[in-house]
Each structure stands twice: as structure tokens, then as C-alpha cells.
Amino acid sequence: MTAQEKELMTMIARLAPQFHQLTSEVLFGQVWQDDTLSQRDRSLITVTALVVLITRPPDPCIEQWLAYRRA
């Protein structure tokens, strides 16, 4: 992970702590570490989680931060 990616993850953790917790602890911590799931099942869970995150209404905090970074 690059320094810029680490900085972005830190900001996301501060702005959207639940999102950060779900992605880091549940998705990558539990799902990817679970040997009882096949590679296919892990991939399906990941894609499903990403689709849910993409289709939900945007978080105003993240939108404000992105607008700030673009300025």
C-alpha cells in the first residue's frame, strides 16, 4: 500500500468509521481469512459488498472531503 493509499484509508476511517470497520475487519479480516469458504465464495461476497456500497446513497462526509480535495 502506498503512502497516498494509507492516507486515504486513514481519512476514510475518520470520516466513515463503520465503512472502515466493515471493510477492514469483516470483509478482509473475517471473510478472506476463512478457510471454509472457497475462492469463488469469497469473491462473490466481495463483489456483493462492493455493489451494495456503490448503490447506496453517498455519505455527505465523504462527498465533502472529496470536494475539498478537488479544490
**Mean pLDDT, the chain, integer:** 78
Return the residue matching grid coordinates 475487519. Answer: 25
Determine the pLDDT at residue 46: 78
What are the pLDDT digits (tens) for 51-62?
877 776 666 776
pTM above 0.75, yes or no: no
Determine the pLDDT at residue 1: 65
Domain boundaries of the chain, sorted by first residue = 36-71
CA-based nearest residue to 51, from 41, 43, 40, 59:
43
Question: Over 70: is that where the pLDDT of 50 sits?
Answer: yes
Residue 42 in contact with residue 31, Cβ under 8 Å?
yes
Return the H-helix or E-strand segment holding 60.
helix 60-70
